[in-house]
Structure 1
């Protein structure tokens, strides 16, 4: 997605992601031990279905990206508040013609492509999703929006995959997005916890911006 995907690996051990969410950000100890990895809930057959359907989608990823975000803003208009470039655009037809929306959609599709390529490398898949969650925290894109993207992706791609879209394919994609969303949320809460520690250390002064950060949700997805 043109995301901030480099950085330290995932912190393992401690409470589950669901327990962390229930307790709220920063509920763990100073080491972040409340974060815990979870296995990728996909069989080899499901991974194969995702790869095969992606081959079809890959030919039209720019259009899928635009459709996905138009659907997102139609069904959840409050999401536009996260994207300052789109916040003042009220007409969906104008959004469809937006180069910024096209570029952002391509970045999201690029992340999905990277995820599909790492289905057999679970540690690397987890790391890129975790780091994406961290970058979303830095640019104030809250976790409550993450699951919406998977829903709209599936709605957008069904007409493109056509007869190759089956219930098994849909369940496979749903499982993948559920996993990515959970890992991103862990990354978000870990970054939020670290930011809380930094604010305590620096007082009201924010810590230095990390190298490579753009300061834009659009550029880091």
Structure 2
């Protein structure tokens, strides 16, 4: 069946809602990551200095926006090209080029769960449905696969 125009539309529509309150969504996103996997805090340099998630941390907000936006863009790529491609600069921005592959893969599953829960809360129960969840989930899964492939390439090149 593939990534349909309807799925892409649902992802884009919900992204527009999410963008309306990025500061709140960003904090919620990272709160959920740490709720699901408290040890993940050590993987985000901008969280090292604090015992809690800092409310006004611009790096946290920028990172969350990047994840939300990259996942939305992945949905667009899936619809247009049938695949997701990430650049090495994306790995550097996310900091995963320095992350051991096994830790990076574990974190990706945690991030997916936190991402979907954050979007569901932001969109609200009346608009959130299985199709929207599947659209975001598929876009994220394809993005994660592309990132894993780049991580492996980067690891192989530096090994």
Shift of 1:166: 0.8
Report the Cα distance in structure 1 between the residues aligned to 2:138 and 2:74, rounded to whole angstroms: 13
2:68 maps to what in 1? 109
Indicate yes or no: 2:98 matched with 1:145.
no
1:189 pairs, out of 124, 146, 152, with 152
Shift of 1:81: 1.1
2:38 maps to what in 1? 77
Indicate yes or no: 2:138 matched with 1:179.
no
Distance change (3 Å), C-alpha of 1:144 and 1:46: same
Distance change (3 Å), C-alpha of 1:178 and 1:107: closer
Indicate the structure with greater helix content: 2
Shift of 1:43: 2.6
Instruction: Report Cα offsets for 1:71-130 as digits up to 9, x if no partner.
Output: 1112211111112231241124xx23333322322332332343344343337x622267
Distance change (3 Å), C-alpha of 1:58 and 1:137: closer
Shift of 1:189: 0.5
Distance change (3 Å), C-alpha of 1:112 and 1:60: farther
Which deviates the most, 72-81 or 50-59? 50-59
Q: Secondary structure at the match of 2:61?
A: helix
**When the two structures are aligned, how many residues end up with a matched partner?**
154
CA RMSD for the aligned pairs?
2.7
2:123 pairs, out of 161, 170, 180, with 161
For structure 1, the residue ranges without an aligned partner over 5 or more in a row are 1-39, 197-221
Report the Cα distance in structure 1 between the residues aligned to 2:88 and 2:5, rounded to whole angstroms: 23
Conserved? CA contact 2:11–2:135, under 8 Å: yes
TM-score, normalised relative to structure 2 = 0.79
Q: Secondary structure at the match of 1:127?
A: coil
* 1:118-137 superposed matches below 5 A: 118-122=77-81, 126-128=84-86, 132-133=90-91, 136-137=95-96
TM-score, normalised relative to structure 1 = 0.59
